[in-house]
């Protein structure tokens, strides 16, 4: 996870006392904010991969048939790092993994006090769908709000399987295309 300055200040004693629990990655070598942002976004995806691996361990122990595909998340990392959208087939794999992770969280909420706090941020998904991070920064606050709201409706419908992944991708690409200029 990429910590904000507030989180660092709150956790500094824990970090000092339990340094082996943390991995610190330097971004000093990045000359531009954009490259730092891209690097941070890829770390956010890897944090979700870590949660998926832990979920898969729990699913194996429970002898569940559900296994969350983590390989597709590396496609997402590559997409972020190279500022290139994913293909339709790659998007299907990514959203199936996210759907499975949501199913895991939903089923575990019945037994444990957990929340689906480790999610892929929308800006990463927008980039994978073809709206680069740089273009997203240029959107007005109003446009960002409308995009987030419309995407949330679609995304939640996909996660809960109210719509298929194919329909979600088709509708999400149409939505994103309105913001690509």
Per the CB < 8 A criterion, the answer to whether 104 and 119 are in contact is no
**Number of residues written out for the chain:** 181
Per-residue pLDDT of the chain (181 residues; tens, 9 = 90+): 566 667 667 777 676 776 566 666 556 665 666 777 888 899 899 989 999 999 999 999 989 999 999 999 999 999 999 999 999 999 999 999 999 999 888 877 666 655 555 678 999 999 999 999 989 999 999 999 999 999 999 999 999 999 999 999 999 999 999 988 6
Tokens of 24: 């610190």
160 alpha-carbon distance from chain centroid: 17
Domain boundaries defined on the chain: 33-177
Report pLDDT digits (tens) over 88-98: 999 999 999 99
- CA-CA distance, 157 to 169, in Å (whole number)? 12
State the pTM of this model: 0.80
Instruction: Give me Rg for the CA atoms of the chain.
Output: 17
> Within 10 A of 77 (CB to CB), how many other CB atoms are there?
18
């Amino acid at each position: 996870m990429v910590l904000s300055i507030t989180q660092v200040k709150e956790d500094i004693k824990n970090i000092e006392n339990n340094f082996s629990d943390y991995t610190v990655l330097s971004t000093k070598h990045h000359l531009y904010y954009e490259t730092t942002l891209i690097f941070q976004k890829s770390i956010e995806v890897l944090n979700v991969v870590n949660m998926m691996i832990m979920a898969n361990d729990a699913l194996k122990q429970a002898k569940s048939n559900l296994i969350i595909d983590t390989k597709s998340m590396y496609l997402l990392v590559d997409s972020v790092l190279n500022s290139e959208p994913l293909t339709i087939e790659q998007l299907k794999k990514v959203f199936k993994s996210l759907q499975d992770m949501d199913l895991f969280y939903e089923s575990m909420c019945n037994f444990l006090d957990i929340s689906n706090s480790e999610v892929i941020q929308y800006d990463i998904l927008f980039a994978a769908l073809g709206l680069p991070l740089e273009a997203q920064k240029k959107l007005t606050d109003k446009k960002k709000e409308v995009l987030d709201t419309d995407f949330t409706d679609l995304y939640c419908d996909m996660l809960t399987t109210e719509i298929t992944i194919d329909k979600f991708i088709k509708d999400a690409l149409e939505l994103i295309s309105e913001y690509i200029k």
